Amino acid sequence: MRLNRRRLLVTGAALASCGTVPPGAAALLPTPPQSSGPFYPLTLPLDSDNDLVQVGGSSERSAGTILHLAGRVLDRDGRPVPGARVEIWQCDAFGVYHHPRDPRGPADPNFQGFGATTAAADGSYRFRTIEPVPYPGRTPHIHFTLTGPGFERLTTQMYLAGHPLNERDGLYRRIGDPAARAAVTVALAPAPELEPETKQPAKRAMFDIVLGMVT
């Protein structure tokens, strides 16, 4: 997973290698699908790599708390799914999407808003983005879409563990199964060592995605 122009720091723990489910163990719970929402980009930005914090050609980084987000793409048996395209998109630190139909604009010009990468041989992926923030009607979240040969397209959303707006969010509450809800709810941890030059300490998170049907 090549980073254009910039380095992306993640710890070894965040990219821990994955193993398959032991014989006789229950299969992994597939990540529940969710709506893509109205703000998936109409056209992909020229800069659409896996570092959303700084747009190509700009010397300024985006507003917001930097989040190093890593995870693995797995099948239900815990095997990695290499080559899966992983896309994310989210609002900026002020709750605005890079989308012409978002009336709250303009969006932060130093935030990419959309990024994509390809899962490595061990199923791992990573992004450098910002901690998601709420906006009217929604709890903080990051949109994900996964595509690739051998499995159906999956669109889902990642939520922040313990956020007070989760239980008031219609899409989050729509996930009725507690285990499925837990599968898309991620805890953030302080990671100031990943961005020592920033005044606002960075954070890290791990979000594994389990595909339901892989051939």
110 within some domain: yes
The C-alpha atoms of residue 30 and residue 135 are separated, in whole angstroms, by: 28
Tens digits of residue pLDDT in 176-208: 999 999 999 999 999 999 999 888 899 999 999
61 within some domain: no
The C-alpha atoms of residue 4 and residue 54 are separated, in whole angstroms, by: 11
pLDDT at residue number 25: 62
Classified as helix, coil or strand, 210 is strand
Q: Does position 3 have pLDDT exceeding 80, yes or no?
A: no
Q: Does position 69 have pLDDT exceeding 80, yes or no?
A: yes
Tens digits of residue pLDDT in 12-54: 333 344 455 555 567 899 999 999 999 999 988 888 899 999 9
18 within some domain: no
168 within some domain: yes
- Phi and psi angles of residue 172, each rounded to the nearest 5 degrees, phi first: -65, -45
211-215 average pLDDT score: 85
CB atoms within 10 A of CB 78: 18
pLDDT at residue number 45: 85
Tokens 């070894």 -> residue: 12
99 within some domain: yes
Sequence-distant (6+) residues with CB within 8 A of 195 are 9, 66, 201, 202
25 within some domain: no
Structural domain count of the chain: 1
Helix (H) or strand (E) holding 173: helix 170-173
The C-alpha atoms of residue 109 and residue 61 are separated, in whole angstroms, by: 9
pLDDT at residue number 44: 86
Tens digits of residue pLDDT in 71-117: 999 999 999 999 999 999 999 999 999 999 999 989 999 999 999 99
Helix (H) or strand (E) holding 157: strand 154-160
Name the residue range of residue 123's domain.
66-210
41 within some domain: no
Q: What is the CATH number of the domain that holds 164?
A: 2.60.130.10
96 within some domain: yes
pLDDT at residue number 20: 59
